[in-house]
Structure 1
Amino acid sequence: MSSDEPSLVELAQVFADDLTTRVQTVVPGSVPFTAKVVPERSVVSVKQEPGDGIVLTVDGKPHLLLKVSFRCSFDGHSRFLAVDSSRVHVFASVSPGQPLFRYEYERRASQVPAAHIQIHAHRDALTYVMTKSGAGTRRGRRRSDSEQVPLMQDLHFPVGGHRFRPALEDVLEMLIDEFGIDDAKDAREALHVGRQAWRQTQTKSAVRDDPQSAVEVLRQLGYEVDWRGGGEEPQSRLDRLQAL
């Protein structure tokens, strides 16, 4: 890395500032995220200090508690910031000891899926939270107005949108790993090949959604990329990039 390129902690602080901006649009005045070097390791932690979490309210009253943290390092080219791990934990404000559920990512995971959701709560805990839903959205209003006990199956957890959603191969391998279901001798190899094909297809689709970002990265890697299609260059499909 040349001396005029930003350091790891500088890149991580830019990331932290972006996180702060996004979170504070939802919870004004929440504690900013900061980037700090982890002693004796080539990683930087990005989290809030103090780490008491982000209080989410309903009608001005504490309802949920959100705790978020990241560990970052340089990518394989030692130029760009990469997320090594991330933790997004959601607690009931009345019971902050155990999270209701958590989204986690491990860049070097080997025994579990790299990106995954884990649900800690028993049904009663989630039911309590759901019955106290705010009325500012259609789903929240439907739950708060209903006299029926809400069901866990009514919760919708986003996992990557149009382009980065899990493949069938991910679900099948999860069932093998987590529940020990029977699998044929070459099942994992077939699942890995299928996952590779799926992600290559999705990468191509993602490039079509956002060709400008693809061109930018290819040029950073040393490729020469020029538009020769005639007419105007295709623009990024913001509807796809912004969709939940």
Structure 2
Amino acid sequence: MTLTHDEFNDEVDDFVGDVMNAVNCLEPGEGWLIDVAMASADRLRSVVDATLPLRGPGDGSDGGLAELSATYRLCVDSYGTHIAVEHSSFVLKATIERAPIIRWDYDRRPNNKPRSHVQVTAQRGALSHILSRLGHKTPHNIESLHIPMGGERFRPCLEDVIEFLIRDCGFKGSAGWKQAIQDGRARWRRIQTRAVVRDSPECAVAELESLGYKVIPPEAGARDERLDRLTAW
């Protein structure tokens, strides 16, 4: 049964709660903001936009070193039964330069790029040299490369990005951030596991039966694999 307007917004509320739990793992500076546009009565679309100034060791209460933004556009999934992410973008910027340092992007319907990819703004002589020899249009703009990250189902979640910022980069995490990150990541991967099962139900059946489960097929017969999902870049 297709989601109603109220059911859609209820799922958006739950989704926003997960985003809040994730960003609360970082110790924010001043200017923390989350903006949510709920679905209208005639259009099941929603936008969630979070902006978080990041604090490093020794930073004042206002941070000022860098900023993380997380943006989601939400729609109804292809079955009409749950919300789905149509687009997401996690962007790390330095406050001294507004160009993104790293951005992790996902597009449900991309054009000429991987559905899930990362872009890095950097300069690297060896890579630029290779790209030049290959005739690349912009060999010195490393951010023009869309590095694939596992497609629609296996892309990183916001919790992965936040743990990277704390562990690898050294930004300040809030008290108890490790457990909150693990809990949020587990929720995300369970959601993605259910989506993968819908993409390839016979694989799920075979694996469950190998573990000793008894699976009863539906009266209408087995569902076909969704090859468009399994083979998408």
- Relative to the length of structure 2, the TM-score reads 0.48
Q: Pick 1 or 2: higher relative contact order, CA cutoff 8 A, min separation 6.
A: 2
Q: Which has the larger radius of gyration?
A: 1
- Relative to the length of structure 1, the TM-score reads 0.46
